Structure 1
Amino acid sequence: MLSLQNLDELLEELCEYQIDDDTLNSVSSMAGCYIFEVARRNYGGRYIWVQEREQPVLVTGEPEYSISIFAFDKVRGRIRNGKEDDIPYYFDGYIEAVEKGKNTGYIATIV
């Protein structure tokens, strides 16, 4: 998805800067919400707040299957770790898991 490639390029630029924790959390939540909405609008799902992680998770497919993603963590990783946490690759893994879930009842958390 082109929009996620564009988001990934923007996050790549942020890798070049030292950003404080508040800014990292803010960017992670904004970009993570965008990833969630791309997923939800294309594959459905519902949001659940996970208190222990202090962030939402998107769960797709219940009750037939269950694929969960923690997008805020992935965005943080992308900013801190660079290309190894590529957003389009992450999202492709989510799509593959959803397709597998539809066919087999697969349950997974994509991190």
Structure 2
Amino acid sequence: MDYTAQSLEMVEEILAEASDYFSDLPQEQVTAIVQRVGCYILDVAYRQFGGQFFWHGEYDQPILVVGEPEKHIALVTWGKVHGRIAGDAGDNIPFFYAGFFDCVAGSKPGTRAVYV
């Protein structure tokens, strides 16, 4: 298992454990966790693929776009992190990142994708 996979497995474990306390957490704390963990995932992707960060007004959060100008693959993380900390096991962070990884690694020029 590489560093990226290990770190995202740790993130998954932390969010799964935190989900047990979700209903007891103040909204400000949930927001802080979502933003910090979401930005960490963006940083992991940036270190692996490069790209550019943008602020997405519609999502009201940072995004990472990789592959420009030949392709455009965007990663949006805060919603996925919020879902996971809220207890949705389907918002599995390593699985989500693996889909993004596969798209970037296997994409052809002209690819346009958004991972939300």
Identity %: 35
Q: Distance in 1 between matches of 2:109 and 2:58?
A: 30
Aligned to 1:106: 111
Which residue of 2 is the match for residue 72 of structure 1?
Answer: 78
* 1:100–1:106 Cα contact (<8 Å) kept: no
Q: Secondary structure at the match of 2:88?
A: helix
Task: Give the number of aligned pairs.
Answer: 110
Choose between structure 1 and 2: higher helix proportion. 1
Q: Distance in 2 between matches of 1:66 and 1:34?
A: 21
Contact 2:16–2:85 (Cα < 8 Å) also in 1: yes
Alignment of 1:37-52 (within 5 A): 37-52=43-58
Q: CA deviation digits over 1:10-66, x for unaligned, max 9?
A: 000111012232111100110011101110000111110012322111111111111
Runs of 4+ in structure 1 displaced over 4 angstroms? none
* Correspondent of 1:11 among 15, 34, 42: 15
What letter corresponds to residue 112 of structure 2 in structure 1?
I
- TM-score, normalising length: structure 1: 0.92
What is the TM-score normalised by the length of structure 2?
A: 0.88
